[in-house]
Amino acid sequence: MRMQTPDEALASAAAGGDRDAFAALLSRHYDRIFGLCFRLTGVRAEAEDLAQDICCALPAKLGSYRQAARFTTWLYRVTVNAAHDRRRRIATHRKAADGWGDWEVARRAEIDAAAAAGDWLAATMARLTPELRDTVALTLGEELSQKEAAEVLGVSEGTVAWRMSEVKKRLREMARAEGML
C-alpha cells in the first residue's frame, strides 16, 4: 500500500508525525538526493556528506512543504539550496582562513588535481559558475525539462535556456583552450 501512496500524501503524513511515512519517503528518495548532490559537487565524499545533511534537515523542512509543487520538485529545490549553502560556507571558510590569493590558488589546484586524476567531469564542472553547474546537473543529469528545472531554480524558463547555451559556449572555449595547449 505504502509503495503506491503518492509522495505528496506521504509528505503530508510525515509532516503530521507519521514515522513510517517519513521512512518510506526517505528510502524512496535518498538515491535521488544523492545523485543530484554528486552531480552538483562532483566529489563522492562531499556528496555523501551533503546528502546526509539534507536528510537530517528534512524532518524540520517538511513542515514548510505546501503541496503547491510536486514533492520531487520541492526536494530538488531543497537540495540545490543546500548545495549553495555548503558551497558558500566552504568558500567563506577558505577565504577567511587563507586570504584571497590562496583561495584562488586552491581553486586552481583543485581543478588541476581533478584533471590530473583523469576526472574530466569534476574538472569541467569546477570550471562552470555555480548557476551553470546547477542548471546542467538538473537538465542533463536529472533529465528535467527546462520548464521543470526553471521551477526548481526559481528562475524563468528563458533563463534556463540561456544558461544552457552559455554552457555550450564555455565548453567550446575550454575545448579550444585545451587543443591549443
Q: Which residues make up the interface to another protein (CB under 8 A)?
A: 4-6, 8-9, 12, 14, 17, 19, 22-23, 26-27, 30-31, 34-35, 38-39, 44, 47-48, 51-52, 55-60, 63, 66-68, 70, 120-121, 124, 136-137, 140-141, 143, 167-168, 171-172, 174-175
Kindly tell me which of 99 and 154 has the beta carbon lying closer to another protein: 154
| CB of residue 102 to another protein, shortest distance in Å | 29
Q: Please, how many CA atoms are within 13 Å of residue 89, restricted to the half-sphere of its CB? A: 7
d(CA 153, CA 78): 10
Kindly tell me which of 102 and 120 has the beta carbon lying closer to another protein: 120
Residue 5 sits at φ, ψ, to 5 deg, of -60, 135
Angle at 122 between CA 104 and CA 124, to 5 degrees: 75
Kindly tell me which of 45 and 96 has the beta carbon lying closer to another protein: 45
Show the cell assigned to 174. 575550454
